[in-house]
Chain A
Amino acid sequence: MAMTATLGYDDLPSLLTRLTGDEKHDRSSLSTLDVLWVLYDRILGGDDRFILSKGHGPAAFYTVLAAKGIIAADALDGFGSFDSPLGYHPDRMLASGAEFSSGSLGHGLGVATGAALTGRRVWCLVGDAELDEGSNWEAVQYAGRIGLSSLTAIVVDNDSSEHGWPEGIERRFMLEGWIAQRVDGRDHEALAAALLPDPDATRPRCVVAEVETK
């Protein structure tokens, strides 16, 4: 992806105000904001791939893409309108920078696994409630078994899973052979430290980014 840094983190609030529609008020759309910023600001390289599986509430995603010059900031103004490339769920055929069309939960991690099988470094963002979908666990199990070290799953945890994850999300990933840790999902330094590529990794990684309860 081509990234031309144009704006900083402090500019995100003003960009967010350009998005109109119900989605911008959805807390779930902002739960990902800091993770996305750190990813695009410090982590992702030109050959890396990012798959937003949690396509619900993409306001933060579009805002970060705009801040980084991947999409035009003017495109934010038409959010959700008929001719806008930016809908309530991202469509990779419309929105540059969206590498996977998502919105139906539980798809991204499988596709990320496929991309990572080629050796590509792939980061995939899912939500804690999204993990209710069984399809995620097919990918978690398989990636863990084969030691798919090029794959990093980021679980933004705003405690929105209806029945929760007793004993923790990260423990379930670890049981399947992943390296997993929990960090403060608003702490940029902690996020960056957890998300930086580890060239010596032999297992896939899961970073649970904890944010405010929904």
Chain B
Amino acid sequence: MTGMRERFYELVREALDRDYRVAVVTAQIGTDSIGDHPRHFDVGIREQLMIGVAAGLALEGYRPVAHSYTPFLVERPYEMLKLDLGHNDLGAVLVSTGASYDAARSGRTHQAPEDVAAVGLLPGWTIHVPGHPAELESLFRRSLVGDDRVYIRMSEEENHARVDGGGLTVLHHGPPGAPLVLAVGPALTPVLEAVSGRDLTVAYLATVRPFPHDGVRSALGTGTDVVLVEPYLAGTSAAEAAAALVDRPHRLLSLGVPNAEFRHYGSPPEHRAAHGLDAEGVRRSLAGFLA
């Protein structure tokens, strides 16, 4: 099966051919996969420039798509996201690869579990965390149509099947008052395995900003316990969940990548397990929280 990254390159090539508004800016990551095109600009290893150029293209009416590894797309040019795009009210579609620990063997420099929190701190961004290449496709196509600021976080981790519907999707309704387990993007697969045998409400989310406040309230029903499982920095959406339930007594458990220097290489599954984000880890956390 074609993974998200490969699918993205196919979609970008298609968009360049079909939509005259689309312009692509890269900084040596994905350049060859996207290939030559009059509106594909590779600026070399210059990530601040990559975002600046994207803003300039937006200024001229184009729909820029910028792409790189997560830390080089979000963290290194962060002020360009804030000012060149945000403060200037210019739009772009930023598509990252690498997620939190896809590049586990490359070490901390290529890992960015903070990315969604960082982009989420800036106003006006839509953030998608697809869990399947087919979701990436629909989210990317939708993003090209607008003029807003969109961040799409791809990952090599993906779920077995796409989830349709957009927004918050309840996959299993527990009994009235049941805890709500909300899985984001590729965290769904370990969550589904972890909740096996428990009668909980399980919901899925691929678009985390804007956060679906009403959807969370509705899915929780009369319940009081929420477990948020995000494949990036733990608690990234905790404030949003709390805001959704501001007038309701509730308990919230936020699972994700801990905010700590994790000085290990290895593989993504090893990192997932170490962070308690594999099925066993999620199961263990659920048991403790819901005991």
Task: Write the residues of chain A forming the contact surface with B, with a CB cutoff of 8 angstroms.
Answer: 49, 91-93, 99-101, 104, 106-107, 109-118, 120, 134-135, 138-139, 141-142, 145
> Among the listed stretches B76-84, B102-110, B180-188, B223-231, which one makes contact with chain A, having 4 or more residues with CB under 8 Å of it?
B76-84
Known contacts A99-B59, A100-B88, A142-B43; is-contact A110 B49 (Cβ 8 Å): yes
For B52, give its contact among A91, A99, A113 (CB under 8 Å).
A113
Q: Assess whether B56 is in contact with A110, with CB atoms less than 8 Å apart.
A: yes
Using A91-B87, A113-B52, A114-B59 as known contacts, list a sample of 12 further A-B pairs with CB atoms less than 8 Å apart, ordered by residue number in A.
Answer: A107-B52, A110-B51, A110-B52, A110-B80, A111-B53, A111-B55, A116-B56, A117-B57, A135-B48, A138-B44, A139-B46, A142-B44
Chain B contacts for A134, CB-based, 8 A: 48
Please name the residue on chain A nearest to B47 by beta carbon: A138
Minimal beta-carbon separation of A123 from chain B (angstroms): 13
State the main secondary structure of chain B at its contact with A: helix
Number of interface residues, chain B, beta carbon within 8 A? 27
Q: A110 to B64: give the CA distance in the assembly, Å.
A: 14
Residues of A within 8 A of B51 (CB): 110
Whether B56 pairs with A113 at a CB distance below 8 angstroms is yes
Taking CB as reference atom, which chain B residue is nearest A111? Answer: B56
Per the bound structure, the CA–CA distance linking A154 and B79 in Å amounts to 23
**Can you name the residue of chain A whose Cβ is closest to the Cβ of B52?**
A110
> Which of B49, B56, B58, B89 is close to A135, meaning CB atoms less than 8 Å apart?
B49
Does B125 make an interface contact (CB < 8 A)?
Answer: no
Shortest distance from the beta carbon of A138 to any chain B beta carbon, whole Å: 3
B89:A93 contact, CB within 8 angstroms: yes
Which residue of A91, A92, A99, A141 contacts B44 across the interface (Cβ within 8 Å)? A141
**Chain B residues numbered 20-64 whose CB sits less than 8 Å from any CB in chain A:** 23, 25, 41, 43-44, 46, 48-49, 51-60, 62, 64
Name A137's closest neighbour in chain B (CB-CB): B46
In the complex, the chain A residue whose C-beta lies closest to that of B80 is A107
CB closest residue in chain A, given B87: A101
Q: Give residues in B with beta carbon < 8 Å to A.
A: 23, 25, 41, 43-44, 46, 48-49, 51-60, 62, 64, 79-80, 83-84, 87-89
B59 touches A101 (CB 8 A): no
CB distance from A28 to the nearest CB of B (A): 20
Shortest CB-to-CB span from B184 to chain A, Å, is: 32
In the complex, the answer to whether A100 meets B44 with C-beta atoms within 8 Å is no
Contact B57 A139 (CB under 8 A): no
Minimum CB–CB distance for A134 against chain B, Å = 8
Whether A107 contacts B56 in the complex (CB less than 8 A), given A138-B48, A139-B49, comes out as no
Question: Are A138 and B46 neighbours in the complex by a CB distance under 8 Å?
Answer: yes
- Residues in B with CB closer than 8 Å to A138 are 43-44, 46, 48-49
Say which residue of B41, B60, B64, B83 sits within 8 Å of A120 (CB atoms): B60
Return 17 A-B CB contacts under 8 Å, by A number.
Answer: A91-B87, A92-B88, A104-B83, A107-B79, A107-B80, A107-B84, A110-B49, A110-B52, A110-B55, A111-B84, A114-B56, A115-B56, A116-B56, A117-B56, A120-B60, A139-B46, A142-B44
User: Are B52 and A117 neighbours in the complex by a CB distance under 8 Å?
Assistant: no
Q: Which of chain B's residues have a CB closer than 8 A to the CB of A113? A: 49, 52-53, 56
A114 near B80 with CB under 8 A, answer no
Bound Cα distance A130, B84 (Å): 16
B53-A100 in contact (CB<8A)? no
A112–B49 CA distance with the chains assembled, in angstroms: 10
User: Which chain A residue lies CB-closest to B51?
Assistant: A110
Q: Shortest Cβ distance from A117 into chain B, in angstroms?
A: 6
Known interface pairs A101-B83, A111-B59. Does A142 touch B52 (Cβ–Cβ under 8 Å)? no
Residue of A nearest to B49 (CB): A138
